[in-house]
Structure 1
Amino acid sequence: MMRRLSLASRVGLLFAACTAGVSLLAGVLFSRASEAHFVELDRQLLEGKLQVFAELLQGVDSPAALAARRPQLQLELDRHPDLALRIEGADGQAWFTSQPLLAGLPASPEQLRTWRSGTTDFRALSTPLDHGNRLTLLVDITHHQHFLARMQRLIWLTVGLSALATALLGAWAARRGLAPLRRMAEVTRAVSASSLTARLTDQQVPAELAELSEALNAMLARLEDAFARLSAFSADIAHELRTPLSNLLTQTQVILSQPRGLEDYREALHSNLEELQHLAQMVNDMLLLAKAEHGLLPTRRESLALGEELQALADYFAPLAEDRAVTLSVAGTAHLRADRGLLRRALSNLLDNALRFTPAGGEVLLTVETKPQGVCLTVANQGAEIPAAQLPRLFDRFFRADPARREGQAEHAGLGLAITRSIVRAHGGEIRCESAAGWTRFILEFPTAHA
């Protein structure tokens, strides 16, 4: 397969083609202008000399009368050796020719024309004389033709040399100009899973490539962040799965280590069932997150009265709130087109977290309001503030703000907030967290188009 031309070669060939075209056009125009200039000079010379010879031949009406004027004609011709003269009578017969080769000269109209005899080129012009005679004057233009031929050869040589020189210089300049691209290629070629920290330097980068350099650096930063998150996710999921699996293995080995009663086996199976249910829930949650990230989360939209939905959730969680001595209240109303089941799941995750981290005697507020940009839902609770450094990571998988809670909390795998964010984004919204002045607020914003 033919190798594709490099960009530098293409630029060089383009420069060469442009230079050759411009040089050729300029050469042709100069050649035409030179030819027209010579034609005009010949016209002026012939017209001036025709007038002189016409005055010398005034009153000549026969070859005999012409013979008396021949010395004067010859004297004038000797002054201009490049001129040739032919005199014809009214019957078209040649009375006088200054050169034998003019015998074959055809009748000439009264306009400038070119005539070739052998290897000699002439430019001829005729004028009528007295008594119907005709005078034809010719000038040898062979030297003109030779000059034009040499000039055309020079033009072609110049076009070829200039095209070659421009191709080489263009390729060199393009190669120098594309050096930043080669450096970019070297950096990106060196990027791997173990070297995602590599970045393109902005120094000596042309303005045209600055935006590309910034885009590549941003892409590398995103890849580095995504790879770090993936590595952390792999470690987290291994940690989360290790505990229940270890519990299952340990308890099963203990039960099987010696014969036991039926009640012991039944109790062990119930314990294993709880661990298996926890594992199944974790796998289902991860599948839901995977679908949401790839836009495959199905949503059955319907118009929902959010005030009623929040009140229904508050009624459901009221017993838990009473047990923990937490006040649970709902305020506001709005309408939103959303999937009822998914939205309730997202709000339930937030409300469950709020109740768990609200101290006794605290308050949890569920509010909804319509704003110009859309619908805003807020789940706020009193309690310890979340450090600002941890707020951006709250919605990461398996992330817990309190590391002490990582162990012994089988029912909370750290996927709730990640699932909530996926559900909100599946509805075209966004979620963020604010924690200050003893309150933590999770704010869900949905655009007007979904209201």
Structure 2
Amino acid sequence: MRKLSLGSRLALLFAACTAVVSLFAGLLFSHASEAHFVELDQQLLDGKLIGLRRALHDLQSSESEVRLADELSRQADLSLRITGSDGQRWYDSSIRLPDQLPQTPGLSTVSEAGTDYRVLNAPLFPEKPGSPQLTLLLDITHHQHFLQRMQRLIWLTVGLSALVTALLGAWAAGSGLRPLRRMGAVASGVSAQSLNARLPEANMPPELAEMAHHFNAMLERLDDSFQRLSAFSADIAHELRTPLSNLLTHTQVTLTRPRPIEDYREALHSNLEELQWMAQLVNDMLYLAKADHGLLAPKRELLDLAEEVDVLMEFFAPLAEDARVTLSRDGSAQLLGDRNMLRRALSNLLDNALRFTPENGEVRVRIIDRSTGLCLIIENTGKVISAELLPRLFDRFYRADPARQEGSSEHAGLGLAITQSIVRAHGGQIRCESDRGWTRFVIDLPKGD
């Protein structure tokens, strides 16, 4: 069974609400009208009861019958029955009166042969026990016909109002949902070649403006991710092109003529270096792919961060000495983390700092222990990085050095991207700042439980 559209649901909902409200209002009006008629009948019968009691104050009087007939003649639809205290019928003003009537005092309603009566039972002499009973019957058939016509009118009004409201609701829903159809049209036109389409937020209703804003933000993220993915694919091809070309050229040159065994050995060693670099590049890419899919699961062991930094600084000490760069560390802290992953991240940052620190420069590592977590800062002296380049430093294959070698087998531009993935896997954040002759990478990490 096909599901109803949103417009049809709204139209039916409007119609149902209108029908319920109209029906409730009609029933309330009908009940009020009926109660009003009962009140009028009660007043009329009470007034007639007083007159009849006066006319019948003396049943032996010769004028009682005349006065009774005169009193009844004033109200054509009024009838009277008089019964004795023993239940014997004494008098009926009309031969068409029902045989069985309510005997309880007060007002009641009966129907007989298509005629409706309002019946009032009262004693002729209220102050005397065993008094004869007066039963006044008022023909209210015309009242009932009016109420029946009004009820039919109520049902007709409910049906027509529901129908009209359904039609108007369908029109209103269609008009109100037009922005959603525009959103659907824009969404259907989105493809890899047209991610720049956006919804006009200015003309949207307030209820849909926020949705349009989030939809545009989603398209913006998709566009950015697609551009990054396209650039990433191009960068992979760019990085692999040079070593593959080197391997092909070197192998072809080696095979152009017979050579001594040592030349072949040297060619294989040269090819091995290129292959090792390519293997490392592939491993780094797989590592980043695991990070993108949340598959990096760092171990949780208690680490002395100062000790880990000292081990790495000892490893980089010969390189720093050759470059005449001073290494120093300040502060200490403990945290729960994966030793190998953190060492890899810190190695990337220290290697990066040493490569871009000029001669007689300085590389400092500062560990700041805080109650909310710890802050690790790796900073170095050197050329300031412009503010517009800072956000791109963690992009894959990006190198801030414009003089970098194409397809260099030494640095592929993945170190900072891997470092960022490791930091995020530990629940932390990393950012870069560069001013006043210093460039610093700031890592904020939670201590863990």
- 1:407/1:106 CA distance change after superposition, 3 Å: closer
Aligned to 2:207: 208
CA shift digits 1:99-139 (9 cap, x unpaired): 11126243633221222231211111122236743322111
- 1:400/1:107 CA distance change after superposition, 3 Å: closer
Aligned to 1:377: 376
Does the 8 Å CA contact 1:101/1:117 hold for their aligned counterparts?
no
Aligned to 1:428: 427
Q: Report deviation, 1:351.
A: 1.0
Q: Which residue identity does 1:88 align to in structure 2?
A: T
Higher deviation after alignment, 85-94 or 14-23: 85-94
Other structure's SS at 1:31 match: helix
Does the 8 Å CA contact 2:372/2:446 hold for their aligned counterparts?
yes
Aligned to 1:442: 441
Q: Report deviation, 1:425.
A: 0.8
Provide the alpha-carbon RMSD of the alignment.
Answer: 1.7
Higher deviation after alignment, 400-409 or 21-30: 400-409
Does the 8 Å CA contact 2:243/2:407 hold for their aligned counterparts?
no
Aligned to 1:158: 157
Give the aligned length: 445
User: Aligned equivalents of 2:428 and 2:307: distance in 1?
Assistant: 20
Does the 8 Å CA contact 2:242/2:407 hold for their aligned counterparts?
no
Q: Report deviation, 1:30.
A: 1.4
User: Aligned equivalents of 2:415 and 2:112: distance in 1?
Assistant: 105
The answer as to 2:70 corresponding to 1:72 is no
User: Aligned equivalents of 2:286 and 2:164: distance in 1?
Assistant: 64
User: Aligned equivalents of 2:119 and 2:199: distance in 1?
Assistant: 75
User: Aligned equivalents of 1:388 and 1:327: distance in 2?
Assistant: 26
Aligned to 2:14: 15
Unaligned runs of 5+ in 1: none
User: Aligned equivalents of 1:114 and 1:443: distance in 2?
Assistant: 92
Does the 8 Å CA contact 1:398/1:415 hold for their aligned counterparts?
yes
Other structure's SS at 2:388 match: helix
TM-score (norm 1): 0.94
Q: Which residue identity does 2:69 align to in structure 1?
A: Q
Does the 8 Å CA contact 2:375/2:443 hold for their aligned counterparts?
yes
Mapping for residues 44-443 of structure 1, pairs under 5 Å? 44-60=43-59, 68-102=63-97, 104-106=99-101, 108-129=103-124, 132-407=131-406, 409-443=408-442
User: Aligned equivalents of 1:401 and 1:387: distance in 2?
Assistant: 10
Q: Report deviation, 1:304.
A: 1.5
Other structure's SS at 1:444 match: strand
TM-score (norm 2): 0.95
Aligned to 1:30: 29
User: Aligned equivalents of 1:281 and 1:239: distance in 2?
Assistant: 16
Other structure's SS at 1:58 match: coil
Does the 8 Å CA contact 2:238/2:407 hold for their aligned counterparts?
no
Other structure's SS at 1:77 match: helix
CA shift digits 1:156-215 (9 cap, x unpaired): 111111111222222222222222222112112211111111111111212222221111
Other structure's SS at 2:202 match: coil
Q: Report deviation, 1:94.
A: 3.1
Q: Which residue identity does 1:406 align to in structure 2?
A: Q
Q: Which residue identity does 2:238 align to in structure 1?
A: H
- 1:406/1:88 CA distance change after superposition, 3 Å: same
Does the 8 Å CA contact 1:292/1:426 hold for their aligned counterparts?
yes
User: Aligned equivalents of 1:30 and 1:333: distance in 2?
Assistant: 84
- 1:365/1:129 CA distance change after superposition, 3 Å: closer
- 1:171/1:448 CA distance change after superposition, 3 Å: farther
User: Aligned equivalents of 1:134 and 1:204: distance in 2?
Assistant: 80
Higher deviation after alignment, 310-319 or 129-138: 129-138
User: Aligned equivalents of 1:209 and 1:374: distance in 2?
Assistant: 41
User: Aligned equivalents of 1:23 and 1:280: distance in 2?
Assistant: 78
Does the 8 Å CA contact 2:239/2:406 hold for their aligned counterparts?
no
Higher deviation after alignment, 276-285 or 94-103: 94-103
Q: Which residue identity does 2:113 align to in structure 1?
A: G
Does the 8 Å CA contact 2:335/2:448 hold for their aligned counterparts?
no
Q: Report deviation, 1:223.
A: 0.7
Higher deviation after alignment, 419-428 or 118-127: 118-127
Does the 8 Å CA contact 2:240/2:407 hold for their aligned counterparts?
no
Q: Report deviation, 1:141.
A: 0.3
CA shift digits 1:52-109 (9 cap, x unpaired): 1121112215xxx6x7533322222222111112223444343332211126243633
- 1:369/1:172 CA distance change after superposition, 3 Å: same
User: Aligned equivalents of 1:365 and 1:128: distance in 2?
Assistant: 115
User: Aligned equivalents of 1:296 and 1:388: distance in 2?
Assistant: 32
Q: Report deviation, 1:315.
A: 1.0
Q: Which has the higher helix share?
A: 1
User: Aligned equivalents of 2:407 and 2:135: distance in 1?
Assistant: 123
Other structure's SS at 2:403 match: helix
Does the 8 Å CA contact 2:239/2:407 hold for their aligned counterparts?
no
Does the 8 Å CA contact 1:90/1:134 hold for their aligned counterparts?
yes
Q: Report deviation, 1:275.
A: 0.8
User: Aligned equivalents of 1:411 and 1:163: distance in 2?
Assistant: 78
Unaligned runs of 5+ in 2: none
Does the 8 Å CA contact 1:334/1:370 hold for their aligned counterparts?
yes
Does the 8 Å CA contact 1:304/1:338 hold for their aligned counterparts?
yes
Does the 8 Å CA contact 2:102/2:108 hold for their aligned counterparts?
no
Other structure's SS at 2:121 match: strand
User: Aligned equivalents of 1:92 and 1:363: distance in 2?
Assistant: 126
